[in-house]
Amino acid sequence: MHFSIPDTQELNEGNGSTYIGYNIHINGVFHCTVRYKQLHNLHEQLKKEFGNDSVPFFPPKKLLPLSSSQLEERRALLEKYIQTIGQDSKLVTSELVVGFLLSAQQETTCEKKQDVNLDVYTMNNYQIPLWVSSFDRTEQVLTKVFKYINLPLEYLQYFALYLVKKDNSGDIIVLRKLLDFESPYMAHKTLKDSNKVVLRKSYWDTGYDFELMTDPVALNLLYVQTVTEIEKGWILATKETKAHLTTYQVSLAKREYIELAQKLKYYGFIQFIPCYCDYPKAQTKVLIAIGDQELNMRVLAPGQFVKEGSFKVTRMRCWRITATHNKQETAINSQSNSNSSLELSFEYLMSKDKLQWVTITSDQAILMSVCLQSLVDELLMKKNGVKKKYCPVIKGSWSYMKRDGSSHLISVDDVNLNEQIADIPESGSQESFTIKKLQEKFSSVSFKNGREFIENHAFECIGDDDL
C-alpha cells in the first residue's frame, strides 16, 4: 500500500490564526488533510495498543514555530512514518488506523452522515442500486451488494469494489481498488472524472474460479466479466475461438464459456492504458498487463504489436514508485493526478549474473504496484500452502482527535474490518541455498534505507531452473 504526503497547505484556525495541514495520499489518490497533532495522537494510541517497539519513530514536537526548511523536514518525516505504518499489515489493518483514516476522510470532505443512494455496477453495466450511509466503509458497502444480489458472504474475499471510468473511445479504465478505510460514496463523489463503482473479482489464481462457479450468482459475475473483457479485447481470442464462445453464449453455457476463456491469452489479467518504458530502449511505447505471476509488455508500433515479452514477478528483486507533484496545487486539485508524473521501477534478474532496473512511466503506475504486491502475496500464500484467514479482531476504545483538538470515539460498526492475509513465514525463514548464492553474487548492489523500495519476498522462490 502506497502512502505519501506530497505537500502541505495553510489552513485557517477560525480565530484568525493558521496551521499547517498535511495532505495524505493513498495509492496515488488524495485521501485527507490532517494536522501534526492528529497524527501524534494516533501515534500515542498505537503505542498504547501495540507497544513502543511495534510502532515507527515519530518526529518530535517543536517549541518554536517551524521555519520553511523545518516544515519540509517534518513533512518528510511524517511521510516516512505513515509509509512505515502502511507496510505493517498488523498496524494498517487495525481498527485504530482504519477508524482514523475513515474519520479523517469524513472531516476533510465535511460530509454529513446521511442515507444516500449509491449505484454499483457489474462489468457489463448492470446496475445495483443501494441505499447506504455516506459514512459506510468499503466492506460495509460490499456486504450490502452481496445481500442485494443474494451472493453468500463467504465469497467476500474473492470480490472487491473498484473505481472505473470510460475514455473517449469507450474503453474501460480501472482507476483503483477501493480500500476499507474509505467511504465509496465519498470517494466516488469527490473524484473529478466521471466514474463508476464496479464489482469485480479480486484474485489472480484462476483455480479459485472453480470454487466460485459452484454458486449460480458467483458464476454469473465471473461470466459477465469474462464476456466484457473478451469484447473489449483485454482477453485475446481467434475468430474460431470467438465462434465457439458465441455458441456457448447463445446457449447460456456459462461454465463452458469461462473454461474455454481460461485457456486464452490474458485471461485473469488487468490491462492498463498505453504508456512508456525505458526497455528495450528509452521512450518505448508499450501496453502493460499484469496477471499469471507476470508483468506482460507489448511494444506498440503504428497499427501493430511488434514485440512481446514478460517479466516474472519471482525475478523482481524489488520495486519502487517515484512521483513528482506540483506543490502549488491544493489537495482538492491534486486528486486528479494531472500534475504528477508517476514511475514504476523494478529491479529484474535478467540472467544468472545480471540485475537491471526497468522503469515504466504511467498515470497507473501505483495501480501496477498494488497489483504486483497482491499477486506476490497470493503467490507466497499458495507456495506455503496456507489458506486465507482473518486477522484477530482487536477490541478496545479509541478516539479520533479533530483538527480543532476535540475528540470523539472511533466507531467502525460491527462489520469485520480485517483484511484477509496469508500466514506467511518471516522473510528469509525458508531461504534456499540457491537464494544464498544469489545474495552473494549481488552483495555489491546498494539499496537506499527506508521504505522507498518494496522488497519482493517472492524473489526467494527462484530456483536454479529459473535462471
The CATH-assigned architecture of domain 115-261 is Roll (3.10)
* Residues in the chain, pLDDT under 70: 192-193, 303-306, 324-340, 386-397, 411-453, 457-467
Q: What is the pLDDT of residue 271?
A: 94
Q: At what angle do helices 254-261 and 216-231 cross, to 10 degrees?
A: 50
Per-residue pLDDT tens digits for 322-342: 875 444 443 434 343 334 478
Would you state the torsion angle of the CA atoms of residues 5, 8, 14, 17, taken in this order, to the nearest 10 degrees?
130
State whether the Cα torsion 175-179-181-183 is positive or negative. positive
Do 18 and 12 meet the contact criterion of CB atoms below 8 Å apart? yes
pTM: 0.80
Side-chain half-sphere exposure of 448, counting CA atoms within 13 A: 7
Please name which of 401, 391, 433, 427 lies closest in space to residue 93, comparing C-alpha atoms. Answer: 391
The CATH-assigned architecture of domain 3-112+388-421 is 2-Layer Sandwich (3.30)
DSSP 408-421: EE----SS--PPEE
Is 270-387+426-466 the same fold as 3-112+388-421? no
C-alpha cell at 260: 474455454
Do 257 and 226 meet the contact criterion of CB atoms below 8 Å apart? yes
Choosing among 2.120.10.30, 3.40.50.1220, 3.40.50.1400, 2.30.29.30, the CATH entry for 270-387+426-466 is: 2.30.29.30
State which amino acid sits at residue 74: R
Q: What is the pLDDT of residue 463?
A: 58
State which amino acid sits at residue 452: E
Do 161 and 197 meet the contact criterion of CB atoms below 8 Å apart? yes
292-297 long-range CB contacts below 8 Å, 24 or more apart? 292/204, 292/268, 293/204, 293/375, 293/379, 295/346, 295/368, 295/372, 296/266, 296/269
Q: What is the pLDDT of residue 326?
A: 46
Q: What is the pLDDT of residue 300?
A: 82
Q: What is the pLDDT of residue 395?
A: 52
Q: Could you give the CA distance from residue 99 to residue 412 in angstroms, rounded to a whole number?
A: 6
Listed by start position, the domains of the chain span: 3-112+388-421, 115-261, 270-387+426-466
